[in-house]
Amino acid sequence: MSILARVRGIYTTAITKILRDEGIEITQPTEPIIERFKIKNPIFLPPSVTIKDRDDKKGIVIIGEPKATDKIVSILESKLSHLILKEFKPNLYSIYKGRVVDFKNNTALVDIGEIKGRLLPEHSIRVRPGEEVLVCVLKPSLKGEPLLSLNPVITGKYMRFTKGARISFSKFIDMKKREELLEITSLLKINGWGIRWRSSANYADIESILSDYESIKKSIKKIKESMNKLDAPSLLYEGEKIVEVVLPLESKEKLDEIRRYVVPTAPHHHHIKSIVHRKLQGVIEFVEYTVEKSPTILNNISSLCLSFFLKEILGRKKSVEIIQENVDKGEIIIRGTIQEIDYDKNIVVVKRSIKGRGVYDGLGIKKEIGDYAVTYVQLYRPYILHAYYSSSSMLKGIYININTPVEMHSEGRLWCVDLKVDVVCTYNRGAKIIDMNELNELVKKGTISEAFSHKVLSLAEHLKEILDSAEGIDKI
């Protein structure tokens, strides 16, 4: 299978290097990539798969033909350690013959075979229980019900057909090309359909566009025939697969190493580039210019970089937010007052008041008025320690979150991914590891590798031993 990959974002150089070494051809390369890899005859054909930054730049999103997407994921897994994979299901714009099975909060639930999806509220009023309907996946889900529509979307290489008469363009298509595409649109017979021109249309000639148009028409015909022939639930048209790849610190450091084969790269390049802080981007560019002129300086500035950047994002702050991303969905944000920052060891000590009633999760100890927690966070360390105290400053218990190494996120914010397993300790019960079954589920789902899970459990055992030892919390 021949794969064409389009790569964009802060990881472009390193990922391009990985893919080219594995025989994957890069399409629509940017000027820096053409220059860095000395590509003599760049190609600008539509990609089989696109790799781009996720919104917060702490990872990438891979979207494209299902087999091509799987291949890219497999290559990255073989080259980078500790990846966290989030596969969204079903594939985007897949079309199904489904059956309405229930209504929940005035929203129709449609059985599409592999899962039940939620129909758009405005479409739910048009169906009834037991009815067979043609539905399109508008928003795949990581966990829960995907969002469905009664309006199909048919994806080609250069355009998408959507129900309605609207014509729209990718923001990457220039004005001159848009005028040309509008003229072409007027020639096409698209009764009842609208067109969304994709970014690849920027490079397409009219012959290629017309060929794509004919291919989409054939797909529409085939979908109609399958709708009449197949029983519900059935897949009628396969859409694009989406996999989000979270890149923990170890992966970013490996990408730094790979990037150095291509171009001078500063210490912690990808970590720093992933921080949402405009000033720091200019600093990293200056550091890389310095490294290019004097490569021997690389090791000397490594530790200085972290301290400098930590001061930039927390130095003038009285409080901090620690974002613990959930591998399934969402995030937990821990907010507290900064008590101390050790810039030599990159340690942040945070205090927060405990509110609410009940018991502490995992510790089984009652929450009381005046309780507070002291949280110890060390940059690049794969766990966060929370010590819970009574109003009289008596230690009640210790809770250690095991996560990906803590990174800087943005001004006043730190970030990590919660890896489910925790270590808890109280004086009367000793230390124990909790939630190991949730870690095993991540391995079963393919979210993390078995090797990664073994490393997590090994760390948990090590921390448990320390808590049970005489040194206890001081050693951690």
Sketch the domain layout of the chain as residue ranges. 4-88+243-247, 91-240, 264-314, 319-474
Q: Reduce the DSSP state of residue 381 to 3 states and report it.
A: coil
Question: Which position has the token pair 């043609």?
Answer: 134
Q: Reduce the DSSP state of residue 352 to 3 states and report it.
A: strand
Token readout for 338 is: 């900064």
Q: Is 195 left (phi over 0), alpha (psi -120 to 50) or beta?
A: beta
343 HSE (CA, 13 A, CB side): 12
Provide the residue type at 202 as one letter.
N
94 within 8 A of 237, measured Cβ to Cβ: yes
Query: What is the full per-residue pLDDT of the chain (476 aa) written as tens digits?
Result: 699 999 999 999 999 999 999 999 999 999 999 999 999 999 999 999 999 999 999 999 999 999 999 999 999 999 998 999 999 999 999 999 999 999 998 899 999 998 999 999 999 999 999 999 999 999 999 988 999 999 999 999 999 999 887 899 999 999 999 999 999 998 888 888 999 999 999 999 999 999 999 999 999 999 999 999 999 999 999 999 999 999 999 999 999 999 999 998 888 889 988 987 766 666 667 766 776 666 666 556 665 677 788 888 888 889 999 999 999 878 999 999 999 999 989 999 999 999 888 888 888 889 999 999 999 999 999 999 999 999 999 999 999 999 999 999 998 999 999 999 999 998 888 899 999 999 999 999 999 999 999 999 999 999 999 998 766 566 66
What pLDDT is recorded for position 303? Answer: 59
Q: Which long-range contacts (CB under 8 A, 24 or more apart) does 11-16 make?
A: 11/51, 11/53, 11/60, 11/247, 11/255, 11/270, 13/259, 13/262, 13/263, 14/255, 14/256, 14/258, 14/259, 14/262, 14/270, 15/51, 15/60, 15/76, 15/255
* 91-240 fold: OB fold (Dihydrolipoamide Acetyltransferase, E2P) (2.40.50)
d(CA 375, CA 163): 53
Nearest residue to 136 (alpha-carbon basis) of 203, 174, 90: 90
What pLDDT is recorded for position 227? Answer: 96
376 within 8 A of 398, measured Cβ to Cβ: no
133 HSE (CA, 13 A, CB side): 28
444 within 8 A of 349, measured Cβ to Cβ: no
Nearest residue to 415 (alpha-carbon basis) of 246, 245, 243: 246
Nearest residue to 230 (alpha-carbon basis) of 93, 116, 132, 119: 132
Strand partners, 326: 418
284 within 8 A of 259, measured Cβ to Cβ: no
What pLDDT is recorded for position 398? Answer: 95
235 within 8 A of 47, measured Cβ to Cβ: no
137 within 8 A of 236, measured Cβ to Cβ: no
Q: Please report which helix (H) or strand (E) contains residue 473, including its range.
A: none
Q: Please report which helix (H) or strand (E) contains residue 21, including its range.
A: helix 12-21
d(CA 27, CA 47): 6
Burial 179-203 (b: 16+ CB within 10 A, else e): ebbeebbeebebeebbbbbbbbbbb
d(CA 295, CA 287): 11
What pLDDT is recorded for position 286? Answer: 72
What pLDDT is recorded for position 235? Answer: 97
Nearest residue to 197 (alpha-carbon basis) of 184, 207, 187: 184
DSSP state of 19: H
* 319-474 fold: FomD barrel-like fold (2.40.380)
CA 167 to chain centre: 30
What pLDDT is recorded for position 295? Answer: 61
Question: Is the omega angle on the peptide bond into residue 233 within 30 degrees of 0, that is, cis?
Answer: yes
What pLDDT is recorded for position 206? Answer: 94
d(CA 9, CA 15): 10
What pLDDT is recorded for position 328? Answer: 83
